[in-house]
Structure 1
Amino acid sequence: MAQLSGDWRGCVAAALVACSNPSQTKPTDTGAGDGAPAEALAPDDRIAVVGESVSLDATGSTGSAFSWDFDDGSSAEGAVVEHAWTAPGSYRVRLTAEGAPSDRDDLVVTVVYPPLDVAPVASSRLVLHGEQLYAALPDFDQVAIVKAGVVSRYDVCDRPVSLAAGVDDPRVLVACRDGVFALSEDGTLESIYTGDFTAVLMQGGIWGLQRDGMLHGPSGVQAALPGRVLVGSDGAVSTAAFKSPVDHGLWWDGTEHRLVRDPGPDSDTNTRGTPNLLDAGAMRPDGGLLVWGGLKSNTERGLFVEGTAFAHDNAVRAVLKTVDPFTGEEQVAPLFDNRDAVSAVAFTPMGDKLLVAHRGARVVDILDAYSMQRVGGFQNVGLGLDGIVTDGTTVWVLASHERSLISFDLTQANAQVELDRVSLVDEEALSADVLLGLQLFHDSGDPRMAADAYISCASCHPDGEEDGRVWDFTQRGEGLRNTQSLRAMPPSGPFHWTANFDELQDFENDIRLHQGGTGYLTDDDWAELEEPLEDPKAGRSVELDALAAYMRHLAEEGPPPDPAPAPVDAVAVLSEAGCIECHSGPRGTDAAWDGDDPVVHDVGTLTEASGSRVGASIEGLRTPPLVGLSHSAPYLHDGSAATLEAAVEAHVDLEWEALTAVVEALRGFGD
């Protein structure tokens, strides 16, 4: 396993003097007179620290004189010079050797702030701890440990989704639906916290973030934000809200801070939108920059909302927010083109580069950690990229959906030198069709799913749940529509608020008509089967059938459990309020077909913004399920109810005591 060179780091961190041919003496005779040709041989590229002198040696060059341009407005003459840069950045230093003719050569000096003595840490699905890599395998309830290409797997807990390692602790922490555990190298497991956890951190103690946003730490429990990532430095812990409010994102370090909405304008290189689905985070090693990665959602666009239709490239795209952790102010941020959600981030140990993985686009971008400009990257890495780590010379990427760990040579960032590809499993936990469906569901890089890798099913249904957004689907023959969880739906349909799909294979329509994808049906089959409520698409495409199988699998698994069980008299409470008349059955919905017609109800919430059903008038709405309500706000088909209380009041008029009882019953429905 490649490790960061101790000699290189010692040179930079201790002496901060360039390590170019230190055994050679300074040239006293260049071997070239005024009339002889010169040869400039600049030393290798290197990293330096702000304010510290760097020695640059032209040993090996020939010429009558030497001059250096340091790319910061200053220069020097001589074969051996020293220079200190006063600001971070990448500087292209030019060596000129005088002769007939003269010659020039360049090197790049990357100047950074000095890393902290104790490096910042972050939760992730992939961590490097010593010489071992730990990878979370939620579909297997396991963690894989990889050392020198050898894989060991250990059963840990229910759906491990987050890992963390500490500096002086040999264990690795694991966050799962049933608690936080400490995993030793030999597979020994120790329970730390119980509950449904989404992120974990080892920073001056053990921290665990519950799905409901409660943060457990060394000094007790406090309210933070419902998130999926924790970042820590010098005893301080930060997180970002996974689902954002409508007009801004949120991050927290003991105090809530806003992440601003991108005002646009919409173009072929950028869109408006709110930072949402913030699933990745890290801190630069000097402690001076926080980054939060996710997806930008452009819900300001739409025919009803503003009279403009969506194109495939202006609904969603990748977002990376950069923040000064001391002031809370946002810093320069990159713009991503042809990229879906940011799913994992990691800084190099010296903090000169930032690695950014995109789950569905199959891409890793390498950014300058100060300018945020792209300086390299890796294409077609794998399926389901959701973990990335580096030791400064090697990059490891977790491709969860193909169950593999891929490594690249970071010193050749533009050559894409793949070093190894290790399979993490021997036997697949999912059936073949469900696994294929999982891969397709997230794969924005497949042109059949989308044009230009911007969007996949997971863009609006992360982990099969909902994105917390209300989209203007007027151009789809609908209206304002609040995204629903696929995990809560009845597997047999009908689907969507207006029951406009009668089979899961009908998502071919969204793929072809609104995502720019070429689709999974043949063009002849598409011409025959385009209408969603007529002849079935099932059985006409292996890929569409696999997508349907995966979505049924999500529905069978169900949503994450609500944080508190419903009161014992929940059914009685809901019956007395009249809810059970429509919200019946184990999922709390009477959604079904009555012959060729769907069972729908008009409960008085339809407005002009509700639009239509497949381009025709709406007679009613399919009853939404009640399972998983605690973490699926907003509510109602148009998202007009921000809370469960408001949703209930839109249906019935209850006294406060009865309203409170109904809301408590709804929060734990299905437990």
Structure 2
Amino acid sequence: MGSSPRGILLNRDNSLLFVNNALEGSLSIIETRNLTVVDKLPISDFKLSVDTIVAAQLFYGASDPRMSFGSWLSCANCHFDGMSDGRVWQGMVDGPRNTPVLYNLLETPPYNWSGNWDELADAEIKIRHLQGGTGLIADQTLSPALGSPHAGLSLDLDSLTAYIATFTGPTQLPVKDAALVKHGADIFGQQNCASCHAGAAGTDLKSHDVGTGTSPNEKAGAAFDTPTLRWLWSSAPYFHDGSAATLRDVFTMPGAHQLIGKISLEDIDALTAYLLSLPQQ
């Protein structure tokens, strides 16, 4: 098989499987009765830069021992094309963590729910500690988060972080009820949500204790990085630990976001409709 197999198709009698290898512009032909690759054909004129190809292969692949132990995990397993897998992972160093989207990351530092990465190159920490890779930086002595920069220490790491920074969010869904969204925007203003969720990205780039970090499983304190409000329709569940399955839950659960009893459920539903409309075109 080739690099980043994405599309598969069986022939009419199911004897052959065709696999599109997205990161090398080739087609693998596999004989299904013995799962043998019988041919590989070029199907496109690949014109991406070498740096982009290398970075994409690092992001989507798990065969490089620098990125993963035993070829078991890649960045794309949780963040395919920069998306969230919608899961909450229990075995993270800082405690249970909801997978975030990776869109427009250069606009929203710091990184991690705990806000303890000040650069995208701190992904080297996760490559080693979570994915079990040996790392892209040749020096085995790793700087701690918020310590000396990792950027500039490895061409491949720099290429990977530059590639991650290219992920942009999907086209927003059409607004079904403009009046409801407008009402929700008014509620957003009245409740002073923009005191933390400020600007176009919907974040003040700071950490706050909003009452969701009370579990003994939390290992990095009770303050969490303010998440962006963009693309919430594609990133459920919510909060650092995924404890809110829906946006309505965000505003009915105990904590700083609780609005039940302060405003009506109709107003809460309008607010969620507004949030699900972001970013507006």
TM-score if structure 2 supplies the norm length? 0.86
Residue deviations 1:143-165 (CA, integer Å, cap 9, x gap): xxxxxxxxxxxxxxxxxxxxxxx
Q: Secondary structure at the match of 2:145?
A: coil
1:541–1:636 distance in 2 versus 1, CA, 3 Å: same
Residue deviations 1:355-396 (CA, integer Å, cap 9, x gap): xxxxxxxxxxxxxxxxxxxxxxxxxx1111112234355442
Among candidates 536, 547, 564, match of residue 160 of structure 2: 547
Q: Does the alignment pair 1:586 with 2:200?
A: yes
Structure 2: tracts of 5 or more residues without a match: none
Structure 1: tracts of 5 or more residues without a match: 1-380, 592-598
- Asked if the contact 2:184/2:267 (under 8 Å) is kept, the reply is no
Q: Does the alignment pair 1:397 with 2:8?
A: no
1:414–1:600 distance in 2 versus 1, CA, 3 Å: closer
> Per-residue deviation at 1:633?
1.3
Q: Percent identity?
A: 37
- Identify the residue that residue 64 of structure 2 maps to in structure 1: 446
Residue deviations 1:404-461 (CA, integer Å, cap 9, x gap): 22334x28836643x3421412533xx5434432221110122221122211011111
- Asked if the contact 1:488/1:559 (under 8 Å) is kept, the reply is no
| Counterpart Cα distance in 1 of 2:175 and 2:50 | 35
| Counterpart Cα distance in 2 of 1:456 and 1:541 | 19
| Counterpart Cα distance in 2 of 1:426 and 1:411 | 28
Among candidates 200, 211, 216, match of residue 604 of structure 1: 211
- Asked if the contact 1:386/1:400 (under 8 Å) is kept, the reply is yes
Q: Does the alignment pair 1:386 with 2:2?
A: no
| Counterpart Cα distance in 2 of 1:629 and 1:663 | 10
In structure 1, what residue type is equivalent to 2:34? Answer: A
- Identify the residue that residue 642 of structure 1 maps to in structure 2: 245
> Per-residue deviation at 1:503?
1.3
| Counterpart Cα distance in 1 of 2:277 and 2:20 | 35
1:589–1:434 distance in 2 versus 1, CA, 3 Å: farther
Q: Does the alignment pair 1:469 with 2:75?
A: no
- Asked if the contact 1:382/1:399 (under 8 Å) is kept, the reply is yes
Q: Give the structure, 1 or 2, with the largest relative contact order (CA under 8 Å, sep 6 or more).
A: 2
Note the 1:103-502 alignment, pairs <5 A: 381-391=1-11, 392-408=14-30, 410=31, 413=34, 416-417=37-38, 419-428=39-48, 431-473=49-91, 476=93, 478-487=94-103, 489-491=105-107, 493-502=109-118
Residue deviations 1:60-101 (CA, integer Å, cap 9, x gap): xxxxxxxxxxxxxxxxxxxxxxxxxxxxxxxxxxxxxxxxxx
Would you tell me which structure has more helix in proportion to its own residues? 2
| Counterpart Cα distance in 2 of 1:659 and 1:414 | 54
- Asked if the contact 1:447/1:518 (under 8 Å) is kept, the reply is yes
| Counterpart Cα distance in 1 of 2:241 and 2:196 | 19
| Counterpart Cα distance in 1 of 2:55 and 2:199 | 28
- Identify the residue that residue 275 of structure 2 maps to in structure 1: 666
| Counterpart Cα distance in 1 of 2:24 and 2:201 | 32
- Identify the residue that residue 317 of structure 1 maps to in structure 2: none
- Identify the residue that residue 133 of structure 2 maps to in structure 1: 517
- Asked if the contact 2:214/2:222 (under 8 Å) is kept, the reply is no
- Identify the residue that residue 632 of structure 1 maps to in structure 2: 235
TM-score if structure 1 supplies the norm length? 0.38
- Identify the residue that residue 652 of structure 1 maps to in structure 2: 258
The alignment of Structure 1 onto Structure 2 pairs a total of residues equal to: 269
1:411–1:540 distance in 2 versus 1, CA, 3 Å: same
| Counterpart Cα distance in 2 of 1:441 and 1:382 | 15
> Per-residue deviation at 1:470?
1.1
1:414–1:553 distance in 2 versus 1, CA, 3 Å: closer
